[in-house]
A and B are shown apart, each in its own frame.
Chain A
Amino acid sequence: MDLDPILLSRIQFAFVVSFHAIFPVFTIGLASYIAVLEGLFFRTQNPAWEKLSAFWTKVFAVVFGMGVVSGIVMSFQFGTNWSNFAQASSNFIGPLLSYEVVTAFFLEAGFLGVLLFGRHKVPAGVHLFAALMVALGTFISAFWILVANSWMQTPAGTEMRDGVIHVLSWSEAIFNPSFPFRFLHMVMASFLTGSFVVAGVSAWYLLLGREKEANRKALSMCLWLILFLAPAQAFIGDEHGLNTLEHQPTKVAAMEGNWETQSGVPLLLFAWPDQETQSNLMEIGIPHMASLILTHDWNGVVPGLKEASPDEQPPVSIVFWSFRIMVAMGLLMILAGVIGVILRATGKLYSTVWYLQSLRLMSIAPFLAVLSGWFVTEVGRAPWLIYGIMTQAEAVTPSLTGGMALFTLIGYIVVYAMVFTAGVYYLFRVLQMGVEDEEPVDEEHDRAMRPLSAAHVTFEAGPYPGRDQDTHAAPLNKGGH
């Protein structure tokens, strides 16, 4: 069998973008959380808030750094693997991505440095302002990226002339039909991700009996957020789904595993969609539920997959199962919030070991939900790259061979495995160090404005290099290479 450059490019894009997405989805939520902590500290002057903020800022720095590194790769993917798409859509996509870079540039150049390194160098109000601007900056970055993606899902305000997209109305193209839903859904997902990670880490510290006051405050705050945000997210997701039904009915049909256009469609809990036979090999469902959810009518008619010819259908199983994983995670998140409020009412929130343990596990739930959600929307668009305008086959780089695509795919997997293993390992080291006061840092020389240098945690267990006297004499590689 020949290596298919289209399939391999899709896998490559899915791989690098999934890897990239987990970092910003966390930092967007975390940036807002830090801004709130800074605000609370500014108002109350309670040192617990400052302690929490300082700790989570360190975590933010490491995650932001990894997001930047993995983001560099993204800005070249369109050209290397999807050059026809880049060429055709650049009149619109080009400025958007550039504005994203410009925003990040601006943010990193100014306010991030103040937030990370300026705590004792600038007035408290300025520091709070920097925190707010960093949070705002993450939203603006997300805004541009989601505009680009939403436009590819529901193109508007543009027309194709001689194989090239021209913008007719910037406002229509930017605020295209699926954008508001996707943006809200994603921002909410970021808040939930931030909440669950902070809740999970705080629960872990509480189990270890570390820094009780600060961690209780953090946990309590996050659980309130989760209680309201998780159901709100389900509502927004539902609205997003209805929007998708209107603009991309085939995607929704794949999500539901619904082949025929029919009324009274059941909500399938389990099924084995088979593209060959254009049917489900086996299914268990709740009668009429899908019609009720999608049309708000017990017997509503829902379009099926067969409305599109088989070669215009997305890979159904991936969409179908990704959607179920996302929804399952969402329901678990709602449940976690509800149990939290019950335990709070009975006064046992901070002492229920099984609940704190399960919160630790739940830290990964939002990441799974986000990734599977993106799989639903991205795979569900197939075979289109720009929905209804350009297919993936038309978009791929013409000179790209399967061998080249495979080479770089393996290459990226190897590079990411090495680099991000180190990064995630390091992140866990930072988490292990915890919220407790760290040894004082030589502030005078600490003006390097790079995200990762904000975390003063050693890579291995032991004292920080440069602070123990024998570091320079001790390295194993004495004598060079």
Chain B
Amino acid sequence: MQLIDLPLIWAVIIGFGVIMYVLMDGFDLGLGILFPFAPDEQARDVMMNSVAPIWDGNETWLVLGGAGLLAAFPLVYSIFLPALYIGVFLLLAGLIFRGVAFEFRFKARTSRYLWNWAFAVGSMIASFAQGCVVGAYIQGFETQNGVYVGGALDWLTPFTVLTGLGLMAGYALLGSTWLILKSEGYIQEWAYKITRPLLLAVLVVFAIVSAWTPFVDELVRERWFSTIEVIWIFPVLALFCAYQIFRHVGKRTEGMPFVATMGLFIFSYLGLIASRWPYVVPPNYTLWDAASAPESQLFLLLGVLFVIPIVLVYTAWSYWVFRGKVKAGVGYH
């Protein structure tokens, strides 16, 4: 029975789902954050059209992650959600608003400005809340016997506000580099212009969080400064990606800034995992503590292994279908 380490497999699946979600919903949330600052309404149309065909597919990763967490790591589910209670509500409310705004903005005429606002504010709140989740995870949770015993606003500390703002900047960066890839003319020029300041903001938060995290607890400090030096590869690679963004924006390359931004996210994410591995509910529970019964994990694994490849193929296909520039004035609607 113990030939395969089911919790480990599930950790990889859910870890993969999370980064897929962050990368994919990240750039469309980012466009929402940038929305109020766009040069004009035509630019907003292009921004929305550039993600219209794919954004809801992006969000399904979140739902899959939520349900998968309940099935595979119930302890994570039943500690994170109570601990992040208010934040989760804000996250969901934000996502609902922006989702509905997405659809109705295309159909609206006189009420369009309302949907613009709903889209922007919803995206900002959802991104900020997600950033707070990351911060709260680094901070750790106050638990007793597998139950969250902290307060309602433990997730909202100066540190998590910082990670919240940091993720907003990061998503905005994904959004602007995505827009570089998908737009042309004055809209693309605007995207180029804002990318470097956004990158700077991300790096500032990145630096503060990196300096702060090792002091959150002993284990993290030890991991970074004494045990395995090889994990320094992650921040180094992340910084290399950041440099590539900077360089390629200067060279006005279209594709590389987005690719490098994804790299920045992936390596920061791996660095984050490396600092906390194998704790999924820091500081007390590892992924093996948090796992559900093996037969339950196996039961669901069969279905998920069947569906994930299909979803990936379908996702790749829809990105392929909608490849290329979005022309101003031409909608997918």
Q: In the complex, what distance in Å separates the CA atom of A422 from the CA atom of B300?
A: 37
* Interface: B53 (CB within 8 A): yes
Asked whether any CB of chain A lies closer than 8 Å to the CB of B77, the reply is: yes
- Asked if B103 and A93 make an inter-chain contact with CB atoms under 8 angstroms apart, the answer reads no
B296 touches A419 (CB 8 A): no
Let me know if A69 and B41 touch, CB within 8 A: no
Interface stretch, picked from B23-31, B143-151, B213-221, B269-277, is: B143-151
A388 at the interface (CB under 8 A from B): no
With A419-B96, A422-B100, A426-B107 in contact, do A95 and B311 touch (Cβ < 8 Å)? no
Q: Is A345 an interface residue (CB 8 A)?
A: no
How far is the CB of B91 from the nearest CB of chain A, in Å?
A: 9
Compute how far the CA of A75 lies from the CA of B71 in the bound complex, rounded to whole angstroms. Answer: 12
Contact assessment for A397 and B303 in the assembled complex, using a CB-CB cutoff below 8 Å: no
> Which residues of chain A are near B116, meaning CB under 8 Å?
477, 481
Note all chain B residues with C-beta closer than 8 A to A453.
52, 103, 106, 332-333
Residues of chain B contacted by A93 (CB below 8 angstroms): 70
Closest Cβ of chain A: how far from B232's Cβ, in Å? Answer: 35
Partner of B109, one of A99, A404, A458: A458
Q: Is the CB of A83 within 8 A of B299?
A: no
Interface stretch (choices A235-243, A291-299, A459-467): A459-467
- A83 near B310 with CB under 8 A, answer no
- The residues of A that contact B68 with a CB separation of less than 8 Å are 98
Least CB separation from A168: chain B residue: B295
**In contact, B292 and A411 (Cβ under 8 angstroms):** no
The answer to whether B85 touches A408 (Cβ under 8 A) is: yes
A98 & B70 in contact (Cβ 8 Å cutoff): yes
Q: Is B201 an interface residue (CB 8 A)?
A: no
CA distance A235 to B96 in the complex (A): 40
* Distance (whole angstroms) from the CB of B182 to the closest CB of chain A: 15
For residue B206, CB closer than 8 A to chain A, the reply is no
Cβ of A90 and Cβ of B77 under 8 Å apart?
yes
Q: A65-B103, A94-B296, A166-B293 are in contact. Are A476 and B56 (CB under 8 A)?
A: no
Complex Cα spacing A88 to B296, Å: 13
Q: Is B42 an interface residue (CB 8 A)?
A: yes
Contact with B along A431-463 (1 / 0, CB 8 A): 000000000000001111110110111111010
The 8 Å CB contact of A398, one of B53, B63, B67, B149, is: B149
Q: With a CB–CB cut-off of 8 A, which chain B residues contact A398?
A: 82, 147-149
Taking the closest CB of chain A, its distance from the CB of B286, in whole angstroms, is 16
Q: Is A224 an interface residue (CB 8 A)?
A: no
- Report B149 CB to chain A, min CB distance, Å: 6
A80 within 8 A of B: yes
Query: Across the interface, do B304 and A87 meet the contact criterion of CB distance under 8 Å?
Result: no
Complex Cα distance, B42 from A480, in Å, reads 11
State whether A445 and B89 are in contact (beta carbons under 8 Å apart), knowing that A399-B149, A465-B109 are contacts in the complex: no
> Of B53, B70, B109, B299, which contacts A170 at CB under 8 A?
B299
> What is the distance, in angstroms, from A92's C-beta to the closest C-beta of chain B?
7
Asked whether, in the complex, the Cβ of A73 is within 8 Å of the Cβ of B92, the reply is yes
**Listed stretches B242-250, B258-266, B314-322; interface member:** B314-322
A466 touches B96 (CB 8 A): no
B329→A472 contact, CB < 8 A: yes
Interface membership of B2, Cβ < 8 A: no
A426 touches B104 (CB 8 A): yes
B: residues with CB less than 8 A from A are: 36-42, 45, 52-53, 56-57, 60, 62-64, 66-68, 70-72, 74-75, 77-83, 85-86, 88-89, 92-93, 95-97, 99-100, 103-104, 106-113, 116-117, 146-152, 292-293, 295-296, 299-300, 303-304, 307, 310-311, 314, 318, 321-322, 329-333
Known: A102-B307, A397-B81, A399-B147. 20 other contacts (CB 8 A): A69-B96, A69-B100, A73-B96, A75-B66, A76-B81, A90-B71, A95-B296, A97-B71, A98-B67, A99-B300, A102-B304, A399-B83, A419-B97, A448-B53, A458-B107, A459-B104, A459-B111, A462-B109, A480-B39, A481-B113
12 contacts between A and B (CB under 8 A): A72-B92, A78-B70, A87-B146, A92-B296, A94-B296, A445-B333, A448-B52, A453-B332, A460-B108, A466-B106, A472-B45, A481-B36
